[in-house]
Amino acid sequence: MKLLRTIRLDPSDTFVFDKAAEPGEWAVSGAFAFWDRDPTKLEGKARSAFRSGFLGVESFGRSTLVQIVEASAADRTAVIEMLAKHLVDHYGAPDMDAARLAAEEEVAFAQSLCTPQLDTLIAVHRTYEEGAVREQFRSLRPRGGPRPARAFSFMEVEGEDEEPGEQVDLVAIARGEKT
């Protein structure tokens, strides 16, 4: 089976998000983390996390990119358990059974993103439209087939039918300016 792991090609996640996921963590979309917040009122790093962050399940930090990797059934079970515990501890799930069901759904959704070949990178762009969160996922593959991943070597982008409506100013975020 395939699951998602965080990957860091450069240090930008460490200043784009309040908490950056460590490279190599199991990951899920993590849009649920914003269920009780008004996305139109998010600013700065919280807004960046909403717009473009996957959730690392071990640190609960954010990652701009995830990589499709091979995983075992034990890995999947561990991801569900970590996420379920977090849902009980931080999101008010009534008990571990209810939290496991929610975590199972989140992991199943992450698995549904793993249809491309192993080592493909996935990016997310989230928007809030007409009262609903919309997620667009893009897959990035090395041109000419699989090769070891290197920063800035990705040329083919899938799922880029429309341009995101906003641009991220990394320099302003690093300076702590509102974006």
Give tens-digit pLDDT for 13-37: 999 999 999 999 999 999 999 888 8
Q: Smallest Cα–Cα separation from 84: which of 95, 73, 72, 74?
A: 95
**Residue appearing with tokens 């996640």:** 13
**Residue appearing with tokens 């893009």:** 138
pTM: 0.79
Give tens-digit pLDDT for 150-175: 554 444 555 555 555 555 665 665 56
